[in-house]
A and B are shown apart, each in its own frame.
Chain A
Amino acid sequence: MVTYIIRRLIGALAMLFVVSAVTFSIFFVVPRLAGVTPDDMANRYVGRAATAANVQATAQKLGLYDPVVVQYGRWVKGVFVGSEYDYGAGVEHCPAPCLGYSFVTKQPVWPDLVDRLPVTLSLAAGASVIWLVIGVSVGVLSALKRRSIFDRGAMIIALAGVSLPPFFTGLVALSLLSYGLGITAPGGAYVPLSENPAQWAYSLILPWLTLAFLNAAAYARLTRAGMLDTMGEDYIRTARAKGLKESKVIGKHGLRAALTPIVTIFGLDVGILVGGAILTENAFSLQGLGKYATTAIAANDLPKIMGFTMLAAFFIVVANLIVDLLYAVVDPRVRLS
């Protein structure tokens, strides 16, 4: 088990390397192949009143004239040993892990990411609990009352959630509940958990529900399918024949097996979500990683995009690792070879 974990950790590190290299080449190599010159790239970052000299100076300063490999090497070096940055009036050392400085705002990327992480974590934590609970319980009930009105109704509501983009549901929810009825917090209201847990939950309840509405369907559908599968298994029949209570049959035997795929997608979804719920954060003006990514993408701010991508990748890798370990717990038959 321990060696397995260690091996996976090393694998995870290697993966992050690959992701960083791929991301870097997508943003630095592919444009070059398409004929974008370093000056063209620098041009995005020199503001409205740029002269040719400014553009070249900026390209020089951002190191865009160097071969891409050298640029990538500099980025990797920054992550491990830190890097220097000329802020005009002097040179600043950015300690490891230095993900570079924004090309646009000139802010170091790493502290920004750290600042915004709690918002996204709060959003992901609350939303995922809600959709997991709702999704799984609706799924189980639907499976037990198969083809009933409840089953059909639950499915239709769940599917409506998948069909609507959160930027729309969020906007309408805010208009009706926050500004119309005044029962939920307005957009952009975020209170840190450490400051006031009740306010924290109040300020986030609407984003949680919006996000949960989007994701609960998949869980309900998968749980229902999994339950139907397992409830037809021989061992369930055996359990029933033994005279076990139905609740125990369902809870201990049925649900457990049905949860295998749920664990997989839950791990993935949470991993992806912690990397930034882009649309929901935008709809509710939450200053999390997703919002950060949106700004970065809109401004083509490469160091920010790199930093965000790496952090998102990190969470997904960690989530994968946890999922694989959980498999062993949920389904002991899976060997950790």
Chain B
Amino acid sequence: MKKKALVVSAAGAVLALGLSACGGGGTSTPAATEGGGSTSAPSAGAAGFNAGLENVTNPSDAKGGTLKMAVTEDWDSIDPGDTYYGMSWNLLRIYGRPLVTYNPAPGAKGRELVPDLAESLGVSSDEGKTWTYKLRAGLKYEDGSPITSKDVKYAVLRQLDKETFVNGPTYFNDWLDLPKDFKSVYKTPDVNTDSAIETPDDQTIVFHLNKPYSGFDNFAALPATVPVPQAKDTGIKYRDHVMASGPYMFETVEQGSRYVLVRNPNWDPATDPIRKALPDKYEISLGVEANDLDNRIIAGDLHVDIAGTGVQPAALGSIQADPALRERADNPVSARTWYISILNDNPPLDNVECRKAVIYAADRVGLQNAYGGQLAGDIATSLMPSGIGGWKKLDLYPTGSGDEAKAKEALTACGQPNGFETTMTFRSDRPKEQAAAESMQQALAKVGIKLTLKGFPTSEYFTAYAGKPAYTKANGIGLATNGWGADWNDGFGFLSQIVDSRTIREAGNYNLSVKDPAIDALVDKAFGTSETAARDAVWGEIDQKVMEGAYVLPAVYAKGLLLRGKGVTNQFVTGAFDMYDYLALGVQQ
């Protein structure tokens, strides 16, 4: 037994040695000189922990090489009209160009919208109900055919068909002024849709909304505006061959396992001021085991983890322990909150004091630890993440290791001085949520609230259990782990889907607990406010109302510990996605 212990710890030591040996110094490969002698000098770019948050690390204009990316799971689709993952919104811009996109720059500058296919940002008229964009001249697809405004219109219209493209967001469905008889581009191809989108000429596109929205450029930045030529559209099969409008096109498409992208010969840099298009090739592997993925990035066998949510717990420990690795790490705050919904359907949680008791009793530090500790998130004081306009630090509840006295007070106020019993659900395939549930169970037991824990797989969590009111009511579910990330960084992009009680359906809900007419009214008020600062203030008010009603127990504003790849140039964290920007990357040879 003892011998075995020695062997195991020796193995650990070898592992650590191996890691530090690999982690030392910059590049071990000789610098090839295709792009001249411009391989990065250490002084040119910033280096060290968190250097990628505000600076371009390892800057270089050297072209060539193969950038190797990987992801642990498959993503929903590479079809720009059919995807809802931040990582794919970020990545798809290497092969597709939306009307408008996020500035490839570090930090907050990365949140600025810049024109992409369009010559400039949108021009609004009719008090924000009409938006006009003019396309640049000389745009071409990978096959050399020209890109026109009609292709953009077609792209937006086709993805309205949520029977075919189930994954994408529904913003255009909800906001465009569509004719009543329009079903989909496939079922009703002849219906005139000019009331929603007009294309007076091949360069101009005009959107008509059914209600004013001053932030329409956020919509224009959605992948849905990446042009799709109608002649090449094959519905759901389009993902097998997406027509490239950006600098790279697909060479190999093996769904669920591998993609290879090579240079698009018909992409003209003159039409594209924002893309550097440095690598010759992108190799993307899917379904890579999570710990193995981290190890390969540490070793230099891979360059980028596309998911961009941070390394696994095991690598987190290695990175902390090894200064050379820590130099390569960035720790950005994301526009994502991990929280616990407090369901108010069943007594005694229908009483606000009982919900408050849960929040008071919760061990907020313990929850932070459950989600991965200080590097994985800051203790949250409200639902809306701190990077979003209108956010203000709320101080409604203590954020220590649980306030038993206040919790007991609240319990007495709600008529349950000895506590009560309820059930908490979590996603069983997410160890962090399991740890959070266990932490809640321990903390709440101290004030007499007895939690029964129930885990369900992610694929069924919202559709059959926590997100299905019939189930939660019948089974007395009181608490449920939850998490939400912004579609884009404003109150609308974050809150609108999770606080509006009118969006609650029979099943598949993400808003499990915020059901308050006052909040619904505020959501409408925010939609109707055109001035940005005023609108942000309304979203901030909503955030406060959610906390006052004790509808959620916020756990952490998520952070990810990202690792910069070995020999990757121009790597920095963009504020738009809170992960590395995938437009600027290059690779040293």
Contact = CB atoms under 8 A, between A and B. Distances in A.
Interface in B45-81: 70, 73-74, 76-77
Contacts of A43: 463-464, 507-508
Interface centre among A45, A51, A188 (most CB of B within 10 A): A188
Contacts of A90: 234-235
A273 B479 CA distance: 41
Interface in B220-269: 233-238, 254-258
Contacts of B19: 179-180
A107 B165 CA distance: 13
Given A55-B508, A175-B15, A285-B289, A46 B237 contact: no
Interface stretch (A63-71, A209-217, A251-259, A294-302): A294-302
A83 B504 CA distance: 37
B445 interface: no
A139 to B, nearest CB: 24
A169 to B, nearest CB: 12
Which label, helix, strand, loop or mixed, suits the secondary structure of the B interface?
A: loop
A284 B506 contact: no
Contacts of A115: 254
Contact of A186 (B258, B291, B299): B299
B321 interface: no
A187 interface: yes
B505 A52 contact: yes
Contacts of B166: 45-47, 50, 54, 58
Contacts of A47: 76, 84, 162, 166-168
Contacts of A44: 459-460, 463-464
B289 A284 contact: yes
Contact of B288 (A175, A181, A285): A285
A296 to B, nearest CB: 10
Contact of B14 (A92, A174, A180, A283): A180
A105 to B, nearest CB: 6
A331 interface: no
A187 B234 contact: no
A240 B345 CA distance: 82
Contacts of B76: 47
A186 B296 contact: yes
B255 A107 contact: yes
A48 B464 CA distance: 14
Given A47-B167, A58-B163, A295-B256, A174 B11 contact: no
B401 interface: no
A47 B167 CA distance: 5
Interface residues of B, number: 61
Given A49-B162, A179-B22, A295-B73, A188 B285 contact: yes
B292 A87 contact: no
Given A47-B84, A285-B285, A87 B234 contact: yes
B255 A105 contact: yes
Contacts of A295: 73-74, 256, 287
A174 B163 contact: no
A126 B468 CA distance: 47
A171 interface: yes
A26 interface: no
B161 interface: yes
Contacts of A282: 289
A112 B254 CA distance: 9
B31 interface: no
Contact of B505 (A51, A186, A299): A51
B4 to A, nearest CB: 9
A333 B431 CA distance: 55
Interface in A16-53: 36, 39-40, 43-52
A171 B289 CA distance: 9
A172 to B, nearest CB: 7
Interface string B422-464: 0000000100000000000000000000000000011110011
Interface string A276-294: 0000001111010001100
Contact of B464 (A40, A54, A174): A40
Contacts of B34: none
Contacts of B74: 105, 295
Given A49-B162, A52-B505, A176 B256 contact: no
B170 A51 contact: yes
B256 A61 contact: no
B530 interface: no
Contact of B292 (A54, A61, A174): A174
A40 B18 contact: no
A299 B170 contact: no
B289 A283 contact: yes
Contacts of B296: 179, 186-188
A290 B307 CA distance: 23
A150 to B, nearest CB: 18
B491 to A, nearest CB: 18
Interface string B487-508: 0000000000000000001111
Given A107-B255, A180-B15, A180-B17, A46 B508 contact: yes
Nearest to B459: A300
B18 A179 contact: yes
Given A52-B506, A88-B186, A46 B162 contact: yes
Contacts of A179: 18-19, 22, 295-296, 298-299, 301
B18 A176 contact: yes
Interface string B66-104: 000010011011000000100000000000000000000
A171 B11 CA distance: 12
A47 B165 CA distance: 9
B168 A89 contact: no
Contacts of B463: 40, 43-44
B463 to A, nearest CB: 4
A111 B457 CA distance: 28
A74 interface: no
B301 A186 contact: yes
A127 B459 CA distance: 33
A75 to B, nearest CB: 20
Interface string A130-174: 000000000000000000000000000000000000000001101
A50 B234 CA distance: 22
B374 interface: no
B483 interface: no
Nearest to B237: A87
Contact of B257 (A58, A284, A287, A298): A287
Contacts of A248: none
Interface centre among A89, A282, A299 (most CB of B within 10 A): A89
Interface string B289-329: 10111011011010000000000000000000000000000
A114 interface: no
B236 A106 contact: yes
11 contacts: A47-B162, A48-B510, A49-B169, A87-B235, A89-B238, A105-B77, A180-B18, A187-B292, A287-B257, A295-B287, A300-B460
Q: What 9 A-B pairs have minimum CB-CB distances, sorted nearest first? A: A88-B235, A180-B18, A88-B164, A89-B235, A187-B292, A43-B463, A287-B257, A47-B166, A49-B170
Given A48-B510, A174-B295, A287-B258, 9 more contacts: A52-B505, A58-B163, A58-B166, A89-B235, A106-B237, A172-B11, A179-B19, A188-B292, A298-B457
